[in-house]
């Protein structure tokens, strides 16, 4: 017997897809975080499966490899009782010339309930969502958005600090190529945090002030007095050598070590979405420090993805409707 979907979701979270964090309201975000809080506690207490998605089919469609994100969506789906299928795109018809639209039409004919998509091109996930009848979740599209990462980051902060509103969060590193940064800016601003961007000028987007943030090109000043230091991966696969002289020089000026971290508040959190380049963005001793919540971010990833799946499940047609 399938559990009834959360009745509040239809009112508080009226979205059929989760494609972007842009435009999400504080009420919508907090609704998902509240669900994720309960999911995290449920996992820690007994870890038993729930049946919110019993009889539903979830497809993970990853055009870019990401062990962490794909595994957490798979685990989240299974914990909610869904049948989960992981598509290995590297060996699929896509490598033989099939277009994204062809893939969408093919998958739609299989009548899945939810598709989780990661793609190297910005906007590709939204295009796919227009070609299918089911709900679609963006698991990262190019340098555009990564909604569930931003939500799990917000949950990690909220559980550690008790709130997000009023905190000062410094997002540091490769802002230009980071979908994580863009999504976090949207979520943190919506929740009332003060956001700083800290990066060399070559790794900042054009007119970064328009994002509703403070901008620093000096790491020492940028993290002075902040509550959270969120480091980003240096995405060399999306850049050429002209962006940074060398990894060693980048770490010297913008890598997080204990000396720089001392400028933040004594109880400041250290975060990183992973995978980490130790000694490039962050010193190993800082990544493994007691102030680091990087492991908690991984744990919250499953809980947030369970919450998103549950929120979207309220918008799925009932089995009576499709009979």
Can you say which residues are annotated as belonging to the binding site for L-aspartate? Answer: 96, 179, 233
Residue ranges of the annotated binding site are: 68-69, 96, 118, 146, 149, 179, 233, 274-275
Encode burial over 86-99: b for 16+ CB neighbours within 10 A, e otherwise: ebebeeeebeeeee
SS3 at position 303? helix
* Rounded CA separation 221/216 (Å): 7
DSSP annotation of 119 reads E
* Rounded CA separation 85/283 (Å): 37
Residue 12, number of CB atoms within 10 A of its CB? 17
Residue ranges of the annotated binding site for carbamoyl phosphate are: 68-69, 118, 146, 149, 274-275
Question: What does the DSSP assignment read for 17-63?
Answer: -B--STT--HHHHHHHHHHHHHHHHHHHHT-----TTTT-EEEEEES
* Rounded CA separation 288/14 (Å): 39
Burial class (CB in 10 A: 0-12, 13-18, 19+), 46: exposed
């Amino acid at each position: 017997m399938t559990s009834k979907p959360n009745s509040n979701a239809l009112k508080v979270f009226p979205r059929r897809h989760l494609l972007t964090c842009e435009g999400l309201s504080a009420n919508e975000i907090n609704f998902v975080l509240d669900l994720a809080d309960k999911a995290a506690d449920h996992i820690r207490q007994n870890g038993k499966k729930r049946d919110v998605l019993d009889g539903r089919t979830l497809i993970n469609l990853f055009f870019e490899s990401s062990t962490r994100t794909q595994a957490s969506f798979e685990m989240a789906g299974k914990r909610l009782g869904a049948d989960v299928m992981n598509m290995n795109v590297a060996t699929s018809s896509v490598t033989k010339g099939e277009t994204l639209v062809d893939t969408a039409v093919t998958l739609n004919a299989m009548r899945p309930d939810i598709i989780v998509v990661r793609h190297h091109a910005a906007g590709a996930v939204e295009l796919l969502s227009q070609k299918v009848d089911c709900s679609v979740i963006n698991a990262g599209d190019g340098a555009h958005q990564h909604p569930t990462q931003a939500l799990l980051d917000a949950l990690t902060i909220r559980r550690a600090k008790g709130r997000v509103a009023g905190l000062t969060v410094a997002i540091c590193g490769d802002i230009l190529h980071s979908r994580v940064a863009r999504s976090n800016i949207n979520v943190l601003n919506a929740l009332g945090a003060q956001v700083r961007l800290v990066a060399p000028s070559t790794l900042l987007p054009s007119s970064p002030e328009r994002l509703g943030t403070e901008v620093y090109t000096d790491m020492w000043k940028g993290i002075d007095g902040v509550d959270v230091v969120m480091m980003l991966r240096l995405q060399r696969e999306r850049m050429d050598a002209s962006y940074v002289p060398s990894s060693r020089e980048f770490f010297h000026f913008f890598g997080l070590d204990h000396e720089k971290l001392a400028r933040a508040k004594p109880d400041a959190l250290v975060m990183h979405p992973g995978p980490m380049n130790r000694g490039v963005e962050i010193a190993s001793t800082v990544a493994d420090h007691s102030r680091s919540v990087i492991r908690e971010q991984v744990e919250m990833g499953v809980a947030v993805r369970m919450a998103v799946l549950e929120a979207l499940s309220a918008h799925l047609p009932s089995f009576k409707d499709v009979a």
